[in-house]
Copies of this chain bind each other. A is one copy, B any other.
């Protein structure tokens, strides 16, 4: 019976769930957090309500009071995490650089923000795991997220690349494709770490981002800029 060492870091994006009281609300939150952790660790069928109750420091009955049954809780957790993840994703996308100078540095910083805030965090891990293991069982559940999140990301990011392209900072034919490739390159060095549930160090994130941007720019920068060479010192602002 370990004492709940670390809960999901819950950002400020949580919406107040209407007229319910503070006490009740805080219980709901700790249930959702604990459930997210346990479902992530054990999968849907491996997770037991008792375990969640213990981790949430709440009685089992309270869980049944709030969420009629296990599946209801599961769906609530998924939706909670997805909403938060999408919010974080678009908030991070809004920091995409729009000035063509220092492009290499700015793109690298952006890539680091993206991995740090959206992919390497607890929510990212949760989604990778749960979508993969339960996605086929609950297709409708993840569909909304898929359309609002991952599918939108390439078009949104694509549009941002398009802007840079119009300014002459990049030379891109298919901007959506370039966006997908940018994301793929950023994760190239990190895939294996994700797969085993690990968390990259800041240094690994740094290297991954630099490598990705360098190659991306070699493929998509206008000709003379091709060899910007020196890695340029990177200043990261991680919220």
Which positions 109-129 of chain A face chain B at CB distance < 8 Å? 128-129
Scoring A44, A46, A212, A216 by chain B CB atoms within 10 A of each residue's CB, the highest score goes to A46
Contact B45 A196 (CB under 8 A): no
Contact A180 B188 (CB under 8 A): yes
Tell me the complex Cα distance, A185–B46, Å.
35
Q: How many copies does the complex hold?
A: 2
Interface string of A43-62 (1 = CB under 8 A from B): 11110000000000000000
Which chain B residue has the least Cβ–Cβ distance from A207? B177
Is A187 positioned at the interface, with any CB of B under 8 Å from its CB? yes
Chain B residues with CB below 8 A from A129, complex form: 132-133
Partner of A128 from the list B132, B142, B189 (CB cut-off 8 Å) is B132
Is A136 positioned at the interface, with any CB of B under 8 Å from its CB? yes
Is A183 positioned at the interface, with any CB of B under 8 Å from its CB? yes
Chain B residues with CB below 8 A from A41, complex form: 136
Name the distance in Å between A195's Cβ and chain B's nearest Cβ: 6
Chain B residues with CB below 8 A from A220, complex form: 215, 218
Chain B residues with CB below 8 A from A192, complex form: 146, 150-151
Interface string of A195-211 (1 = CB under 8 A from B): 11100000000000001
Chain B residues with CB below 8 A from A232, complex form: none
Contact A142 B196 (CB under 8 A): yes
Is A191 positioned at the interface, with any CB of B under 8 Å from its CB? yes
Tell me the complex Cα distance, A220–B220, Å.
12
Which chain B residue has the least Cβ–Cβ distance from A154? B192
Tell me the complex Cα distance, A212–B177, Å.
10
Is A184 positioned at the interface, with any CB of B under 8 Å from its CB? yes
Chain B residues with CB below 8 A from A133, complex form: 43, 129, 132-133
Contact A131 B195 (CB under 8 A): yes
Contact A197 B45 (CB under 8 A): no
Selected A-B contacts with CB under 8 Å, 10 pairs = A41-B136, A45-B45, A129-B132, A132-B132, A135-B196, A150-B195, A151-B192, A181-B185, A216-B219, A218-B220
Chain A residues at the B interface, C-beta cutoff of 8 Å: 41-46, 128-129, 131-133, 135-136, 139, 142, 146, 150-151, 177, 180-181, 183-185, 187-189, 191-192, 195-197, 211-212, 215-216, 218-220
